[in-house]
Amino acid sequence: MSDKYKVLYYVNQFFGQVGGEDKAGMAPEYRGEKIGPALGFEGLLNKNGEVVGTIICGDNYFNENKEKALDFILGTIKDIAPDVFVAGPAFNAGRYGVACGEISKAVAEKLNIPVVTGMYMENPGLDICKEVAYVVRTSDSAGGMRKALPIMAQIADKLAKGIEVGPPEEEGYIPRGMRKTIFVEKRGSQRAVEMLLARLKGQPFTTEMPMPVFDIVEPAPAIKDLSKATIALCTSGGIVPEGNPDHIQSASAQKWGKYDIAGRDALNAPDFYTTHGGYDPVYANEIPDRVAPLDILREFEKEGYIGKVYDFFYTTTGTGTSVSKAKEFGTQIGAELKAAGVDGVILTST
């Protein structure tokens, strides 16, 4: 009998070495072997634990069939009874992150098994599970795998052995929103005054209670008369002219494009296609208007429902693009549209 603790690993179809977007619809499967990052993960456990198997599921399948996927995954985990469950890391991949987040939450809450995963701070899956799982802070791409896995393994090792995991800043995971009672030499009032004095003097200090930053955007007033309004088309779905003349990145975009559509009734293939790397491009490439619906806007224009379609459309890719970059793009595009007298925008994603 092995006295090693058992780890069960979850990955998507890409890291499970099944395929890319063409396999994103695969149903969950259990394989009694170490696949993808699970192989390297076991080597980081210093012979204390072993990865007993890997669950693989397509990103699209999980997000479109959440209940069915969770039933299979949780059933598999019950049968294997691991000491620790590990998912990802998902970095900044949105669908993968949501899957890791939902599974991690279900495993922690329904099966009471310790969970470790890894995500970029802006991954939408983070808020789903950070209060119940240990989410290691990662870079925004898989290039950070070698840095993320050792931290995840170190935390998993402690959880499996029942050793208390230290604070986030020491262990490398994202704060879970929990407060703990600790004993310190100075009382709170003294620490607060010292922090205030340091701030007044321009000296460094670390707050004991960081406050969340909420992005509040005041809605623009409604358009009073659509029949006289100029409407622009924008998309984060990566629709670009043939050849992608501005070389907009397929993920983690660093730029946006502006293209003339005056006189066009639709964004027809092959003159337009998607450069987006985060979804299956087949249907978008077949009919680009499925993502950026110029055809419908032209119909509205002819019917008099809107006054005019703006002569240019704007495009970028949303997958992996940082919030700071997205804000930068929005500010730049918004300034152009406002200067051109545009009244409203149809903004589509994927």
Q: What is the pLDDT along the chain (350 residues), one digit of tens a residue?
A: 468 999 999 999 999 999 988 899 999 999 999 999 999 999 999 889 999 999 999 999 998 899 999 999 999 999 999 999 999 999 988 889 999 999 999 999 999 999 999 999 888 889 899 999 999 999 988 899 999 999 999 999 999 999 999 989 899 999 988 777 778 899 989 999 999 999 999 999 988 877 777 778 888 899 999 999 999 999 999 999 999 999 998 877 889 999 999 999 999 999 999 999 888 899 999 999 999 999 999 999 999 999 999 999 999 998 877 777 888 999 999 999 999 999 999 999 88
Tokens of 273: 């296609």
d(CA 5, CA 52): 9
Question: Which CATH number is correct for 5-171, 3.40.50.2000, 1.10.1030.10, 3.30.2130.10, 3.40.50.10490?
Answer: 3.40.50.2000
Report CA 171 to chain centroid distance, whole Å: 22
Which residue shows structure tokens 């077949």? Answer: 286
Q: Across the strands, what pairs with 253?
A: none
> Does the bond joining 288 to the residue before it have cis omega, within 30 degrees of 0?
no
What are the CA-CA distances from residue 74 to residues 8, 28, 87, 157, 321 (Å)? 11, 11, 13, 22, 32
**How many CB atoms are closer than 10 A to CB 179?**
6
Domain limits, the chain:
5-171, 226-348
Going by C-beta distance under 8 Å and a sequence separation of 6 or more, which residues neighbour residue 213?
none
Give the model's pLDDT for residue 2.
60
Q: At what angle do helices 94-110 and 66-80 cross, to 10 degrees?
A: 50
Q: Are 292 and 315 in contact (CB under 8 A)?
A: yes
State the amino acid at position 11 in one-letter form. V
Question: Helices in 92-144 by DSSP H: which ranges?
Answer: 94-110, 126-129
What's the order of all strands across the beta sheet hosting 308-315?
Answer: 257-260, 308-315, 230-235, 344-348
Cα angle 165, 167, 173; round to 5: 80
Question: Nearest 5°: phi and psi at 242?
Answer: -50, 130
Report CA 308 to chain centroid distance, whole Å: 35
What's the order of all strands across the beta sheet hosting 134-137?
Answer: 29-31, 49-57, 5-12, 84-91, 115-119, 134-137
State the amino acid at position 330 in one-letter form. G
Give the model's pLDDT for residue 298.
97
Q: Are 95 and 318 in contact (CB under 8 A)?
A: no
